[in-house]
């Protein structure tokens, strides 16, 4: 049974008033709900579905009941199964009032659970679902996490979108995603859609809204990204205003979505799969200005990261601090062009590439960028000599992955066995980036994003692709040695719009039709080349099927691209990353000035490509 928006419980009222931060934690309950309080925050949790019906900060309500689904909620809730078990899992009476935790667990019995985006009327995914909330003494917020348990007797299934959402009171009028998207936002802006507010989850672990009238902020704080999908390069939308009449502020923590290439949870019949998503913090603070509150929330994210993993969590396959270790090593760079690492090294432990069943009896390869089924452990090293440490890794068998700013390559090493009770040193590891020959030129920075190119700092402008014809009326001509890619190479290589009526269409990008667009690269050679030339492209956004390539006005082939992941229609600067190479006879090049042309075919002005990096190499051995 689904309960309607219930009135506040009487025993919650006395806890809503402002109290010293040293107040002990309390938990109370009636037949409908639990109430958790510590004198700073008070949370009401519905026993019927695991929703957080109310969150008060020093007596002020944070959530709304006027926008479809009230309060905070997991898309996969505890409704619809064979049984429902609410319980107190940490009783503050037994720990001196230090911490309380409650659980609402739905037993699937093989029935599909969850009614979020993309789910059918009969539900989404057959798994037992345990939703938990916890409050500690002096903490200015509530932790939540969810345990998914697909038992071997449950049927095979693939999960649709999965997230935790919170809908906020109307006085929250300032949105905080990152430095550039941090503004007064009292109502939705015509021509915008929610994808304007997408950002990298790994770089934005504290995000939400604040109130310019109440001087109160509300933020989701992720202490880690290990339970999120897609690793450190996954963009996701974090905040927006909903499309209801009241346009309530919405904050979202996606751990599995279809956005920007998406990620997959696919479980077979007979497979026992357990996944703990979270805990993350629903953080409430106060301050003089929205920017001050947001920056304090980001500082709180750092404090939470320093406490991770939390020792009070006891659920599923969540590894406690004593069951985790660090994995370290040093990459020895073996490269003809570089003597040291030119930029940050991102290194991680994740599952090796695997296959799942896809539509029409086919299969789909899942790699770390598209995996939501397993935990991933990542770290960033700025050591130019390649030293790295990945902390808090749980036991398991992994593949070691790495990519580095300024290096066109992805390193991988399989069968890394981690025992969570002892540190693992991998020693010196040779990393020899792929080279097809000596480098003739490069454009951009290999960093898995197009943000360094012209317009890349404004990728979230809804009409950014329609600005291209105004900024580059004669298209891009880039002269190696004199051009500046931050000014002379537009980040979105798209059809050149020719429709004067073209306009922004929320959720679909833009309308209109554009002609084929050539990007020309001019470069000089001193002597006649021989052998084979290799054009190497790193792609981080796809919206077209292929690129035509010509050299000195002679066609040399097509580059077939990957599937579209909506980077340009959904206002991003990076999505799924991959490489493409095209080899051609080097005798097509001549001494003196040469021209290589990449052409995007005609089509919708948002149907192009975003490059991470381009390089031409020559094998003349």
Percentage above 70 pLDDT, the chain: 97
pLDDT tier, 8 (very low <50, low <70, confident <90, very high otherwise): very low
Instruction: Decide: 547 and 557 in contact? Cβ < 8 Å.
Output: no
Mean pLDDT of the chain: 94
Q: Considering the chain, tell me which residue range(s) the CATH 2.60.120.260 domain(s) occupy.
A: 438-619
CA angle 373, 377, 378 (to 5 degrees): 125
User: Where does residue 213 rank: exposed (0-12), middle (13-18), buried (19+ CB within 10 A)?
Assistant: exposed
| Alpha-carbon span 367 to 378, nearest angstrom | 15
Q: Considering the chain, tell me which residue range(s) the CATH 2.60.40.1120 domain(s) occupy.
A: 321-431
Q: Which residues are paired to 505 by β-bridges? A: 509
pLDDT of 18 > 60? The answer is: no
Q: Considering the chain, tell me which residue range(s) the CATH 2.70.98.10 domain(s) occupy.
A: 20-307
pLDDT tier, 66 (very low <50, low <70, confident <90, very high otherwise): confident
- Average pLDDT for 383-402: 98
Three-state SS string over 475-517 comes to CEEEECCCCCHHHHCECEECCEECCCCCCEECCCEECCCEECE
pLDDT digits (tens, 9 = 90+) for 323-337: 999 999 999 999 999
Give the pLDDT confidence score for residue 391 in this predicted structure. Answer: 98
Give the pLDDT confidence score for residue 586 in this predicted structure. Answer: 98
- Radius of gyration from C-alpha coordinates of the chain: 26
| Alpha-carbon span 350 to 396, nearest angstrom | 10
| Alpha-carbon span 84 to 80, nearest angstrom | 9
CATH 2.70.98.10 corresponds to the domain 20-307: yes
| CATH code given to domain 438-619 | 2.60.120.260
| Alpha-carbon span 100 to 139, nearest angstrom | 12
pLDDT tier, 119 (very low <50, low <70, confident <90, very high otherwise): confident
pLDDT tier, 321 (very low <50, low <70, confident <90, very high otherwise): very high
pLDDT of 21 > 80? The answer is: no
Three-state SS string over 308-365 comes to CCCCCCCCCCCCCHHHEEEEEEEEEECCCCCCCCCCCEEEEEECCCEEEECHHHCEEE
Q: How far apart are the first and last CA of the chain?
A: 74
pLDDT digits (tens, 9 = 90+) for 559-590: 999 999 999 999 999 999 999 999 999 999 99
At the fourth CATH level, which superfamily is domain 321-431?
Carboxypeptidase-like, regulatory domain (2.60.40.1120)
């Amino acid at each position: 049974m689904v309960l309607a928006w219930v009135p506040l419980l009487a025993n919650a009222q006395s806890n809503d008033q402002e109290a010293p931060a040293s107040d002990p934690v309390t938990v109370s309950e009636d037949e409908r709900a639990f109430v958790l309080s510590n004198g700073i925050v008070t949370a009401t949790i519905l026993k019927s579905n695991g929703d957080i019906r109310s969150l008060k900060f020093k007596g002020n309500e944070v959530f709304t009941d006027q926008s479809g689904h009230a309060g905070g909620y997991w898309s996969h809730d505890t409704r619809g199964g064979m049984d429902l078990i609410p319980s107190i899992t940490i009783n503050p009476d037994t720990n001196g009032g230090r911490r309380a935790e409650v659980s609402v667990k739905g037993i699937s019995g093989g029935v599909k659970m969850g009614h979020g985006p993309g789910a059918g009327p009969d539900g989404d995914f057959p798994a037992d679902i345990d939703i938990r909330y916890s409050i500690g003494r002096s903490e200015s917020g509530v932790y939540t996490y969810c345990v998914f348990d697909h038992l071997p007797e449950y049927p095979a299934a693939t999960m649709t979108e999965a997230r935790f959402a919170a809908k906020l009171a109307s006085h929250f009028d300032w949105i905080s995603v990152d430095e550039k998207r941090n503004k007064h936002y009292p109502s939705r802006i015509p021509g915008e859609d929610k994808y304007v507010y997408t950002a990298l989850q790994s770089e934005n672990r504290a995000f939400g809204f604040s109130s310019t009238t109440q001087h109160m902020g509300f933020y989701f704080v992720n202490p880690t990204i290990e339970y999120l999908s897609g690793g450190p390069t996954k963009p996701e939308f974090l905040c927006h205003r909903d499309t209801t009449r009241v346009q309530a502020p919405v904050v979202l923590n996606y751990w599995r979505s279809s956005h920007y290439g998406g990620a997959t949870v696919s479980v077979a019949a007979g497979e026992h799969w357990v996944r703990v998503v979270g805990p993350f913090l629903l953080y409430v603070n106060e301050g003089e200005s929205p920017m001050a509150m947001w920056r304090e929330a980001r500082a709180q994210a750092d404090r939470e990261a320093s406490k991770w993993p939390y020792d009070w969590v006891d659920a599923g396959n969540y590894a406690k601090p004593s069951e985790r270790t660090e994995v370290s090593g040093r990459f020895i760079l073996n490269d003809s062009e570089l003597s040291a690492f030119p930029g940050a090294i991102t290194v991680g432990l994740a599952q090796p590439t695997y296959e799942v069943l896809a539509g029409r009896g086919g299969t789909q390869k899942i790699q770390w960028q598209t995996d939501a089924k397993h935990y991933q452990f990542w770290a960033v090293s700025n050591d130019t000599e390649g030293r790295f440490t990945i902390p808090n890794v749980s036991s398991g068998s992994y593949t070691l992955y790495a990519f580095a700013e300024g290096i066109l390559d992805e390193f991988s090493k399989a069968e890394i066995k981690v025992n969570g009770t002892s540190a693992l040193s991998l020693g010196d590891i040779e990393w020899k980036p792929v080279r097809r020959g000596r480098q003739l030129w490069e454009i951009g920075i290999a960093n898995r994003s197009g943000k360094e190119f012209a317009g890349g700092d404004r990728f979230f402008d809804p009409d950014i692709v329609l600005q291209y014809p105004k900024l580059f009326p004669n298209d891009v001509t880039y002269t190696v040695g004199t051009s500046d890619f931050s000014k002379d190479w537009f980040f979105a290589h798209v059809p050149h719009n020719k429709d004067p009526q073209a306009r922004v269409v929320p959720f679909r990008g833009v309308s209109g039709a554009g002609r084929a667009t050539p990007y020309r690269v001019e470069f000089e050679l001193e002597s006649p080349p021989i052998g084979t030339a290799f054009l190497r492209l790193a792609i981080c956004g796809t919206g077209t099927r292929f690129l035509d390539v010509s050299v000195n006005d002679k066609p040399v082939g097509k580059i077939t691209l990957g599937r579209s992941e909506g980077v340009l229609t959904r206002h991003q600067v990076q999505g799924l990353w991959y490489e493409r190479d095209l080899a051609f006879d080097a005798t097509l090049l001549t001494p003196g000035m040469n021209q290589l042309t990449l052409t995007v075919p005609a089509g919708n002005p948002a149907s192009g490509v975003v490059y991470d990096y381009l390089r031409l190499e020559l094998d003349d051995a």
